[in-house]
Chains A and B, each alone.
Chain A
Amino acid sequence: MNILTGNDLKTGDVIWWTGLDWSRFVKDATDVGDKGEAILHREEAARRVNSPYIISAEQTDDGPRPGHIKDRVRALGPTVRPDLTLKPADPSAGEWVI
């Protein structure tokens, strides 16, 4: 599947395209098929996202899992600071990244 990601222009937060809006959680990301370019141009022009790009991901039971480790680090947070990730209560969350 193809999903869209970028950063929130004002806050810099990593965000994912849900089909309607942007979410901080990769599990909300939706498959954009071949519509990615059009959506990201529109959303960037509207300043709802900064520096968006399309990535390939794998659909899993836990939701989309980005194909590249870099985007998995973005999706979770720094593996060396579990307290600062989106899953601070889950000490094994880092394993999803590797």
Chain B
Amino acid sequence: MYQYDQYDQKMVDTRVEEFRDQVKRRLAGDLTEDQFKPLRLMNGLYLQLHAYMLRVAVPYGTLSSKQMRMLAHIARKYDRDYGHFTTRQNIQYNWIKLEDAPDILADLASVEMHAIQTSGNCIRNISSDQFAGATADEIADPRPWAEILRQWSSFHPEFSYLPRKFKFAVIASDTDRAAMRLHDIGIQLVHNDAGELGAKFFVGGGMGRTPMIAPEIRDFVPADELISYAEACLRVYNRYGRRDNKYKARIKILVHELGQEEYTRQVEEEFAHMKQLGLNPPVEELARITQYFQDPPFDKQASVDIDLSDPDFALWVDQNISAHKQPGYAIATISLKPRGGIPGDASSAQIDLMADLAEQYSFDELRVTHSQNIVLPHVKKSDLYAIWQRLDEAGLAPANLDLITDSIACPGLDYCSLANARSIPLAQKISERFADLGRQRELGELKLKISGCINACGHHHAGHIGILGVDRKGTENYQLLLGGSGAEDASLAKITGPGFTEDGVIDAIETVTDLYLEQREEGERFIDTYRRVGMARFKEAIYG
């Protein structure tokens, strides 16, 4: 994985000192909260419901064991012994003291990490495919491109006060594991007719109160024009994105209001100008970064067989193991969705254990997924049983990847000052109601996503089944949505009808899953049956 050189290190070290100075000025009264807020947000520090919250960037979701251990250390030393992995492959801590924040950033900088631009109206952490570099279905590793973008977007002087936040995702496979088209800019690496690698740009996707799937605006941007094209997209947005209404300020609204063609025309015009400005790193820079993402030294003799005589292990293998490009190896996803647990939370001991396993079995590498799980990307099939046993002892072996209990849930009203309803208790109760693994497996792939407010951090628009928590006259109420997908078959879920109480919405979920089992045809997932049968039938089953 990427390693900082002296320049990268100096940048984050300087950032720590700058923020230390800003915190000092705030505590001394030289900065008001209004002035300090955008500065702390630009370093991922929020004032949340119970305390300050710090969001730490995990660029494109990739971590070394040493970095993972530092995340555990921060949880132990400065927080309450746990962290929460997020849908943008980051981690956040809920109980941070303002006066500790500079020291935490210094600790992070010591392992080449930071919290730069994990909040604020700027370019956020670049997310990517959690299976990058390990899966056979990609045409290249997308992470060097994400790293080029990370460096370019860090402290970008022109784009630090955008109308609203700005999120990139980069993938390199036709299978979309990163909800690419639900980002402000989604990039898919592709080959052109000449066989050169380049970037296909999708602009103007997003969730929130006006969900949109990003349209493609350019089918190929060459590697040595990536930055000038991205700058052109951003400049048009910075100049013309709406600033009069926070809820209409994302780029998706601009693209929608101008129309995809007019937005594209303006970008192309700006791009023609920007191409001349020398904004792009030379191809040698991409080559330099790509060096860091070479395959680890795989054992070419590794056995392709797995001893599945332990039935519980066999279930885990069947559910949580994905195909690796190297024979004899596998990609193992560690589910952070135990029965009755909090989706995405991990204790410092669990984080340390995952770091140990990565060091021992996965060439020192881990990934965070947008579904709030952790991946060991390069494990020998012959080591899987040993890994599983240690995960199981630590409560980290739920065999539920992509099943109904592998839900995404935002922090909701238990932690978040924007929320209208709690999300986590709902995820917990659903995991209890559907606890039987046989039943979950019978239902098959089913993406359940829960948000505690319209901002949609729990991706409810992209859920096969989505739940939106709302405030109805001071009590929590839950709307049910069906038919969304954040994958390559991206679609937006639709609300079924009037909302429910917490128990009521779980009953309704059971009704729709029962209808699916009754209606499905051979090989159909829940989403396929829904698309074939249509909303009306599901509505009728729910509301009578």
**Contact at B47–A12, with CB atoms within 8 Å?**
yes
Contacts of A87 in B (CB 8 A): none
In the complex, what residue of chain B is closest to A7 when comparing beta carbons? B47
Interface-side segment among A27-35, A57-65, A69-77 = A69-77
* Chain B residues, Cβ within 8 Å of A44: 33
Residue of A nearest to B45 (CB): A12
**How long is the Cα–Cα vector from A68 to B474 in the complex, in angstroms?**
7
Across the interface, B414 reaches (CB within 8 A) one of A12, A50, A67, A80, namely A80
Q: A29 vs B95: C-alpha distance in the bound complex, in angstroms?
A: 23
Q: Would you give the shortest CB distance from B385 to chain A, in whole angstroms?
A: 33
Residues of A1-45 contacting chain B, CB below 8 A? 7, 9-14, 44
Residues of B within 8 A of A68 (CB): 474
Count chain B residues whose beta carbon lies closer than 8 angstroms to a beta carbon of A: 30
Convert B29-57 into 0s and 1s, putting 1 for each residue whose CB lies closer than 8 angstroms to a CB of A.
Answer: 10001000000000000010111100000
CB neighbours of B425 from chain A (8 A):
79-80
Question: Cβ of B413 and Cβ of A69 under 8 Å apart?
Answer: yes
The answer to the question of B531 belonging to the interface, with a C-beta cut-off of 8 Å to chain A, is no
B476 at the interface (CB under 8 A from A): yes
B3 within 8 Å of A (CB atoms)? no
Given A12-B97, A78-B414, A79-B414, does the pair A70, B49 have CB atoms closer than 8 Å? yes
Q: How far is the CB of A31 from chain B (nearest CB, A)?
A: 21
Residues of A within 8 A of B50 (CB): 12-14, 74, 77-78
Chain A hits for B533, CB < 8 A: none
Q: How long is the Cα–Cα vector from A77 to B51 in the complex, in angstroms? A: 10
Q: Return B36 CB to nearest CB of chain A, in Å.
A: 9
* Cβ contacts B414-445/A at 8 Å (1 or 0 each): 11010100101100100000000000000000
A79 closest partner in B (C-beta): B414
**B12-40 toward A: CB 8 Å interface, digit per residue (1/0)?**
00000000000000110100010000000
A58 to chain B, nearest CB (A): 12
Interface residues of A (CB under 8 A from B): 7, 9-14, 44, 47, 50-51, 67-70, 73-74, 77-81, 84
Q: What are 15 A-B pairs with beta-carbon distances under 8 A?
A: A7-B52, A9-B26, A9-B27, A9-B98, A14-B49, A51-B33, A67-B474, A73-B413, A74-B50, A78-B415, A79-B422, A80-B342, A80-B428, A81-B342, A84-B95
The list of the 5 closest CB pairs from A to B, nearest first, reads A12-B51, A12-B52, A78-B414, A80-B424, A11-B97
List 15 extra interface pairs beyond A44-B33, A69-B475, A70-B49, CB under 8 A. A10-B27, A10-B97, A10-B98, A11-B51, A11-B97, A14-B49, A14-B51, A50-B47, A69-B471, A69-B474, A69-B476, A73-B414, A78-B414, A79-B414, A80-B342
Report B's interface with A, CB cutoff 8 A.
26-27, 29, 33, 47, 49-52, 80, 94-99, 342, 413-415, 417, 419, 422, 424-425, 428, 471, 474-476
